[in-house]
Amino acid sequence: MLLTDQHPHNKHITVALLGKPNAGKSTLINYLLGFDLSIVSSKPQTTRNHFHCNFTVDRTEVVLVDTPGVHSSGQELNVRMNGQAIFGSEGVDLNLLLIDCTKDVVSECKNFIKEFKSELTKTWVVFTKADRVENIEQKDFNGFFEKIKEMIPACEKYFVISGKEGTNVHLLTGEICDQAQPGPHLYPDGAVSNKNERFFASEYIREQAFNALKDELPYELAVVVDEYYDAQNKPGQKVDTKISATILVNRPSQRAIVVGAKGSVIKEIGTNARKKIEDMVGNKVHLNLHVKVSPKWFKNNYVLDEIGLPRTQHSKRVWRKRS
Ligand SMILES: Nc1nc2c(ncn2[C@@H]2O[C@H](COP(=O)(O)OP(=O)(O)OP(=O)(O)O)[C@@H](O)[C@H]2O)c(=O)[nH]1
Ligand SMILES: [Mg+2]
């Protein structure tokens, strides 16, 4: 629905951030927004859904699309995550292809294209994590870019940035805003995303589970919000936000790890997630977490739909069993 009463000088641009897992997409988005909206972790495959993250400079609305890192795996969960990256870049005005410059950037790009399985339109390459490279001036980014351009002719230019420290991010922001076209804003002033607080609550629980748990377990874990009651702040009736959520794991042994000795791990996840959700909603939150074994949830159509991952054209037949 088009917002009415728009300022005649409004401009707009939609930009998808694409790349391999762990390239720094969500970190750059949070830096541009000025606060931590999208979840970040040192483990790859943190982001699972595509979603909008918006900011405005003067009268220019920039809608950034965060996407999952594109990777190779036959698992239905991963096929749908790759699908989210493709859906996220459909119809955008500009793609930013983020490549971690501490890695072999040309092979990273080759691997990305192999799995992305869709044609890229107007694209800028963003080499990330510049702060982690010693003697960066000796790196031949012009040469890397030329090789990448041979693989993706839609690439127009490149930037070398640090999304963590903000190096050169202003150059990128300036050029993005220059590309914005006169037109209406998609969102009302102050709306930061197309996803609601319920979605971000489940993300913050999963982020804290990623932080608290080691090794492969985070990939075999999903979070479903069962109940979400907004706070009521009417005169004489003050009720806090109440959230009840389930952490799904694949095996009984994983349940024991997530719960921890005397419930220590689930308590840590709950306390840290609650603080982040309280910062988001701006009031006290009661968070009730459960852990449930849902064997092979990552192949279960109901669970994948529930966590916002619809089928893609590359999807296989998946379990129909209700979890
Ligand atoms: N030193 C440094 N670390 C960075 C930078 N950008 C991201 N990181 C780190 O790299 C890791 C992955 O960052 P994310 O932002 O989650 O990467 P992503 O591309 O969103 O990853 P997925 O969601 O898994 O696709 C985190 O530990 C970040 O702190 C950077 O510019 N410099
Ligand atoms: Mg991410």
Per-residue confidence (pLDDT) for residue 2, from 0 to 100:
64
Per-residue confidence (pLDDT) for residue 1, from 0 to 100:
55
> What are the mean pLDDT values of the chain's consecutive 10-residue runs (323 residues total)?
78 98 98 97 95 96 98 93 97 98 97 93 98 94 98 97 98 98 94 97 97 86 96 82 97 96 97 98 96 96 95 82 59
Per-residue confidence (pLDDT) for residue 321, from 0 to 100:
62
Out of 22, 51, 103, give the residue to mutate to test ligand 1, the one with the largest number of ligand atoms within 8 Å of its CB: 22
Same domain, 123 and 243: no
Strands 237-239 and 232-234: antiparallel
Per-residue confidence (pLDDT) for residue 66, from 0 to 100:
98
Per-residue confidence (pLDDT) for residue 320, from 0 to 100:
67
Distance CA 287, CA 277 (A): 9
Same domain, 212 and 174: no
Same domain, 97 and 205: no
Per-residue confidence (pLDDT) for residue 277, from 0 to 100:
98
The domain total for the chain is: 2
Q: Give tens-digit pLDDT for 143-156.
A: 999 999 999 999 99
Residues around the ion ligand 2 (C-beta < 5 A): 25-26, 46-47
| CATH of residue 55 | 3.40.50.300
Enumerate residues lining ligand 1, CB below 6 A.
19, 21-27, 40-42, 44-47, 68-69, 128-129, 131-132, 162-164
Per-residue confidence (pLDDT) for residue 218, from 0 to 100:
83
Per-residue confidence (pLDDT) for residue 217, from 0 to 100:
87
Domain that holds residue 263: 197-306
| β strands within the chain, DSSP E | 11-19, 51-57, 60-66, 94-100, 123-128, 155-160, 181-182, 221-229, 232-234, 237-239, 241-249, 285-293
Per-residue confidence (pLDDT) for residue 238, from 0 to 100:
81
Per-residue confidence (pLDDT) for residue 94, from 0 to 100:
98
The answer to the question of residue 2 being in a domain is: no
